């Protein structure tokens, strides 16, 4: 198994360290040439979604990555990654043009709108499909404001949806890569393993 980690900006290194801890091979995607390597899944890290979106477009990565996800490639987006995967986003400046996005998940993300997150915070909450509470670190986090029926909500904090899955796509508002707990990444790797049966390596 080999996981691509988008490494244009943000907390990509922490994801790589967590994958290393789990003994999973990964590589960084900084340009189209990197992306063209064989892979079984993709992680989009937290950071700044507007910067990552612009870089994705500039580097010619936006369309190939979107096509791969639509073709079934498993993807895990944390925080800014959640925003990039959302079809719609609330909370962008109305004056500026909408920043580029992958927009492959049928949901709306509310950006920088999470009450308690205006400062960052840490909590623990349950996560569907994982036993026991999961540590959750939120840093200027988005939440899922609306989701279509195809999207399964996996975790809720203060009545806000903070983790979800739509087939091959997994997102969290929080940063599991910043805590020592590996269970959310293991949950993603299970999606990767299952999809390998159905999709050839893109």
Point out the residues that are catalytic. Answer: 79, 175, 177
Nearest-CA neighbor of 169 among 39, 77, 88? 77
Among 30, 54, 66, 140, binds ligand GLN (CB under 6 A): 140
CA atoms within 13 A on the CB side of 77: 32
Q: How far is the CB of 50 from ligand GLN (least distance, A)?
A: 6
Q: Which of 16, 35, 47, 169 binds ligand GLN (CB under 6 A)?
A: 47
Cβ-count burial of 107 within 10 angstroms (0-12 exposed, 13-18 middle, 19+ buried)? buried
Token readout for 171 is 């997102």
Least distance between ligand GLN and beta carbon 124 (Å): 18
Number of residues that bind ligand GLN (CB under 6 A): 11
Interactions with ligand GLN, residue window 52-81 (CB under 6 A)? 79-80
Contact yes or no for 41/192 (Cβ under 8 A): yes
Query: Does 49 sit near ligand GLN (CB under 6 A)?
Result: yes
Distances in Å between the Cα of 46 and the Cα atoms of 49, 111, 132, 168, 175 are 8, 13, 24, 19, 7
Q: Could you give the 3-state DSSP secondary structure of residue 59? A: coil
Of 86 and 166, nearer to ligand GLN (C-beta) is 86
Residue 112 lies near ligand GLN (rule: CB under 6 A): yes
CB of 79 to ligand GLN, least distance (A): 3
Residues that bind ligand GLN (CB under 6 A): 46-49, 79-80, 83, 111-112, 139-140
């Amino acid at each position: 198994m080999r996981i691509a980690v988008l490494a244009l900006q943000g907390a990509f290194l922490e994801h790589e360290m967590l994958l290393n801890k789990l003994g999973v091979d990964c590589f960084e995607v900084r340009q189209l040439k990197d992306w063209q390597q064989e892979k079984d899944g993709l992680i989009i890290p937290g950071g700044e979604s507007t910067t990552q979106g612009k870089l994705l477009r500039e580097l010619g990565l936006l369309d190939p990555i979107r096509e791969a996800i639509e073709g079934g490639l498993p993807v895990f987006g944390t925080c800014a990654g959640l925003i990039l995967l959302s079809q719609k986003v609330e909370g962008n400046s109305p004056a500026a043009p909408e920043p580029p996005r992958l927009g492959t998940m049928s949901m709306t993300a509310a950006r920088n709108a999470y009450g308690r997150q205006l400062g960052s915070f840490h909590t623990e909450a349950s996560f569907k499909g994982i036993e026991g509470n999961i540590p959750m670190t939120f840093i200027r986090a988005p939440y899922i404001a609306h989701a279509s029926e195809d999207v399964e909500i996996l975790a809720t904090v203060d009545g806000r949806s903070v983790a979800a899955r739509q087939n091959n796509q997994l997102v969290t508002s929080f940063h599991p890569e910043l805590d020592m707990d590996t269970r959310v990444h293991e949950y993603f790797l299970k999606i990767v393993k299952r999809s390998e049966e159905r999709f050839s390596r893109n």
